Structure 1
Amino acid sequence: MTEKNIDVLVIGAGAAGLGAAIGAAREGVNNVVIVERDDRSGGILNQCIHNGFGLHYFREELTGPEYAERIKSIVAQYPNIDVKVEQYVHQIDHRRKEVIVASTEGITIYRPKSLVVATGARERPMGGVLVPGTRPAGVFTAGVAQRFVNLENRLPGKRALIVGSGDIGLIMARRLTLEGVEVVAVVERMPYPGGLERNIRQCLKDFDIPLYLSHTVVGIYGKERLEEVVIAQLDESFKPIPGTEKKFKVDTLVLSVGLIPQSTLFKDFLKIDSWTKGIVTSSSGRSSLNWVFAAGNCTVIYDLVDWVTDEGTIAGKFAAMYAKNNWEPARFFVEKGTNVGILFPSWYEEGTNLNLYLRVKKPIAEGTIRVKQRNNLLYSKKHLNLLPSEMVSIKIPESKLGSGDILVEVLE
């Protein structure tokens, strides 16, 4: 058993974790250690071989692996960052400020001055979808199907139906089609798509793949291998409408039914959002425990990996500041107003910029997003075609902010 006292420990070496390490290292702490359970850093980016990454962070379009390599090359410039792979966090003693990590090297007890959680998100599993029928082989989450095709050079099947029109599902519809799999349809239970408009256009319309809105799977059938999937239209209460069933002869069902923040390890000592299941943080990335920071999809599910890296860098910076001098400013609530469904972060801390991320509760053709702190109007702008599936990012500089709680609302 080895014991190590360090300045900043980062759990997870994806886009957020690597960004956090960079942010901490730039603040000049002596040592930053990243522990990653996979056999290499980069996280989910390693299997996302499509382009569309980096437009905000690097100002150019990159594939997932290219984006990961760019971030890793920046990390390599800092001698005070140590990236350790195949490391498994066994336990966190938040009272003693100890993180117990297991690896092939044995057990290591880290005693960091501050901790950054960057554990990402996991896919909603089949058990969470509650589809009637049998349970044959041939049912995959979108991430598993993506890994099979992009990293392992294996096709999941020959004829597929995809449930969920989130970005991963849309991208996999295109990817499977390009690899010779016949994608018969994408099914979405909501009356509007779950992914970005550009992905609807590039991944479905360009390949003539039908999208069934307000539909869901009502039956999965097969013996050893999937043979048939039945879908039906939904009414306004999301109940199947009798007589609207459609049958598809397929051997593969791909589930793209959402991501869940990977926060289970921390639920006993950090505040977790009851709706999103993400770790609740402030504008600095600080959690409900003053020495623990968090960033990336373990806090809220972002639309862009660029935003994930940005928020990781911010969390790492302020984690390093806490490690150096116990930095802990005044904190004020950031509250949801009219028509706001998801809002992040939950607190504003003095001395920081405020990067707001929000999703509306319902589609709004024309709405005005307003941000107020007491009687001070911080932001007011008209937005067109607001959708719950598309996250809005608003940046408010520290110079505009003062003391007091903040209200965010969307007016129709």
Structure 2
Amino acid sequence: MKYDLVIIGGGPAGLSAAYAAWEDGCHSICIVERDRELGGILNQCIHNGFGLHYFKEELTGPEYAGRFITMLQSTGVDVRLDAMVLDISADKQVHIVSSAGGYEVLEAQAVILAMGCRERTRGAIAIPGTRPAGVFTAGTAQRYLNIEGYMVGKRVVILGSGDIGLIMARRMTLEGAKVLACVEVMPYSGGLTRNIVQCLNDFDIPLYLSHTITDIQGKDRVERVVVAQVGADRRPIPGTEMTFDCDTVLLSVGLIPENELSRGAGIEMDARTNGPKVYENMETSIPGIFACGNVLHVHDLVDFVTAEAARAGKSAAAYCRGETADGAHVLPVSNGNLVGYTVPQHIHMDADWKTVDIFFRVRGELGKSKILVRDETDTQIAAFSRERMAPGEMETITLPRVLLEQAQGAIRVCVEEEQA
């Protein structure tokens, strides 16, 4: 079957991309979603805090997804649910399988990758100890509790301070569990400040920074964990061990963009983000294949996913109309001092745009700082001030064309913290 645009993933990124593409005149669209319903991870995020930027009001995750699902119902977008994408070819043939349609090949002019991300597991971080029941990723525990209706434990220790882990600390407490501690190997939290306040501080749950779990003990079920302080090299410091009697360990130790399909298609990847390298219009290294949302880089707010996916949707619609940049003049973007990565990684200088948004994360907790944009001659072409920055909160700067046209060669984004 042929479509102008095939979107892989029906979560917040896929929904926003589809609606934006439809509004921009692309009326042959198919969303392929492996779950039985649209909405993605938002369906299990029953807490509020969504939509403050995009809808200008506070919504729960299902409410936020519901808004876009309702908007999509006013369009003619085709939706394939309970359908798994097996492969994407460089010529944009999407191979899918489902119980309803069996094996199918969808031919598209353009493809948008919106597969989201997955959680790191215990195996990925190699925690020592036995292998009892009671060890869950935070997202798995969230699904069990909020969708399936199962209480996963009564005495809980959380490893990692990512946003899902922080939110689950509050959720488990509200359901009657005792959350004994949240343990973070880094000297700073990986989550939003508001979640540290609302999910830990408000419930008197201790956060142990520069600590990690060094042993999980138990035969059939988790019985206790050993936590130790770590040094600057992140190795446990002998003599600092604490033992917590618990029956559950939740892991909130990072998210990984879901990019097996991207790699299989031969898309150029970025080792810093674990996602595809993209241009300012969200196009990957393969013309006509775009990427957005957590498959590109892990976001902290769904509102930012929505805006980024809308850009991808409009760009894909323009590609289907034959509106493409010739690629003669491309400006590379890289990260400098204290910056972990930048998205996009390239900018088409011969495309029709007025400003470009650059997203990045810093490598540590910073006070009053300057964000500096320099070119290959080390000439400063832009500067921005921030009162504070943290790795758990994504930063964005907007660069106008007039400044980028002055750049000599590639540009890099760096940060300098002001001395107190």
Deviations 1:287-318 (A, max 9, x none): 01011100000110011111111111111111
Give the partner amino acid of 2:222: L
Give the C-alpha shift of residue 22 in structure 1.
Answer: 1.3
Is the CA contact 2:373–2:411 (under 8 Å) kept in the aligned structure 1? yes
Give the stretch that moved more between structures: 23-32 or 372-381: 372-381
The residue number in structure 2 matching 1:358 is 360
Give the partner amino acid of 2:188: Y
Give the C-alpha shift of residue 396 in structure 1.
Answer: 3.2
Deviations 1:30-71 (A, max 9, x none): 301100000000000000001111111111111100000011
Give the stretch that moved more between structures: 324-333 or 131-140: 324-333
Give the stretch that moved more between structures: 37-46 or 191-200: 191-200
Query: Secondary structure in 1 aligned to 2:368?
Result: strand
Counterparts in 2 of 1:272 and 1:176: CA distance versus 1, 3 Å: same
Give the stretch that moved more between structures: 341-350 or 316-325: 341-350
Q: 2:387 aligns with which of 379, 384, 387?
A: 384
Deviations 1:97-135 (A, max 9, x none): 311111112122111001000000000011011111100
Give the partner amino acid of 1:411: E
The residue number in structure 2 matching 1:338 is 337
How far, CA to CA, are the matches of 1:401 and 1:74 in structure 2?
36
Deviations 1:365-391 (A, max 9, x none): 121012346798664221122222221
Query: Secondary structure in 1 aligned to 2:52?
Result: coil
Give the C-alpha shift of residue 337 in structure 1.
Answer: 2.0
Unaligned runs of 5+ in 2: none
Is the CA contact 2:334–2:341 (under 8 Å) kept in the aligned structure 1? no
Is the CA contact 2:188–2:364 (under 8 Å) kept in the aligned structure 1? no
Give the C-alpha shift of residue 223 in structure 1.
Answer: 0.6
Q: What is the root-mean-square deviation of aligned Cα atoms in Å? A: 1.6
Deviations 1:324-354 (A, max 9, x none): 1151343321121222112111111232341
The residue number in structure 1 matching 2:124 is 128
Query: Secondary structure in 2 aligned to 1:128?
Result: helix
1:147-162 paired onto structure 2 within 5 Å: 147-162=143-158
The residue number in structure 2 matching 1:11 is 8
Is the CA contact 1:329–1:351 (under 8 Å) kept in the aligned structure 2? no
Deviations 1:147-179 (A, max 9, x none): 011111110011100000111100000000000
How far, CA to CA, are the matches of 1:206 and 1:378 in structure 2?
43
Structure with more of its chain in strand, by fraction: 1
Give the partner amino acid of 1:50: H
Q: 2:410 aligns with which of 400, 405, 412?
A: 405
1:186-225 paired onto structure 2 within 5 Å: 186-225=182-221
Is the CA contact 1:89–1:102 (under 8 Å) kept in the aligned structure 2? yes
Query: How many positions carry a matched residue from both structures?
Result: 407
Q: Confirm or deny that 1:251 pairs with 2:247.
A: yes
How far, CA to CA, are the matches of 2:302 and 2:382 in structure 1?
25
Q: Structure 1-normalised TM-score? A: 0.95
The residue number in structure 2 matching 1:49 is 46
Is the CA contact 2:382–2:403 (under 8 Å) kept in the aligned structure 1? no
The residue number in structure 1 matching 2:310 is 313
Give the stretch that moved more between structures: 354-363 or 33-42: 354-363
Give the stretch that moved more between structures: 147-156 or 360-369: 360-369
Deviations 1:6-38 (A, max 9, x none): 100000011111111112112212301100000
Query: Secondary structure in 2 aligned to 1:51?
Result: coil
Deviations 1:170-216 (A, max 9, x none): 00000000000100000000011111111111101110001100000
Q: Structure 2-normalised TM-score? A: 0.93
Give the C-alpha shift of residue 399 in structure 1.
Answer: 6.3
Q: Confirm or deny that 1:283 pairs with 2:288.
A: no
Give the C-alpha shift of residue 224 in structure 1.
Answer: 0.7
How far, CA to CA, are the matches of 1:124 and 1:172 in structure 2?
16
Q: 1:293 aligns with which of 290, 293, 300?
A: 290
Is the CA contact 1:342–1:358 (under 8 Å) kept in the aligned structure 2? yes
Is the CA contact 1:290–1:328 (under 8 Å) kept in the aligned structure 2? no
Is the CA contact 2:335–2:414 (under 8 Å) kept in the aligned structure 1? yes
The residue number in structure 2 matching 1:263 is 259
Q: Confirm or deny that 1:302 pairs with 2:294.
A: no
How far, CA to CA, are the matches of 1:220 and 1:65 in structure 2?
35
Give the C-alpha shift of residue 5 in structure 1.
Answer: 1.4
Give the C-alpha shift of residue 406 in structure 1.
Answer: 2.8
How far, CA to CA, are the matches of 1:70 and 1:394 in structure 2?
28
Is the CA contact 1:378–1:396 (under 8 Å) kept in the aligned structure 2? no
Following TM superposition, the consecutive aligned residue runs of length 4 or more in structure 1 with deviations greater than 4 angstroms are 372-378, 397-401
How far, CA to CA, are the matches of 2:360 and 2:19 in structure 1?
26
The residue number in structure 1 matching 2:236 is 240
Give the partner amino acid of 1:364: L
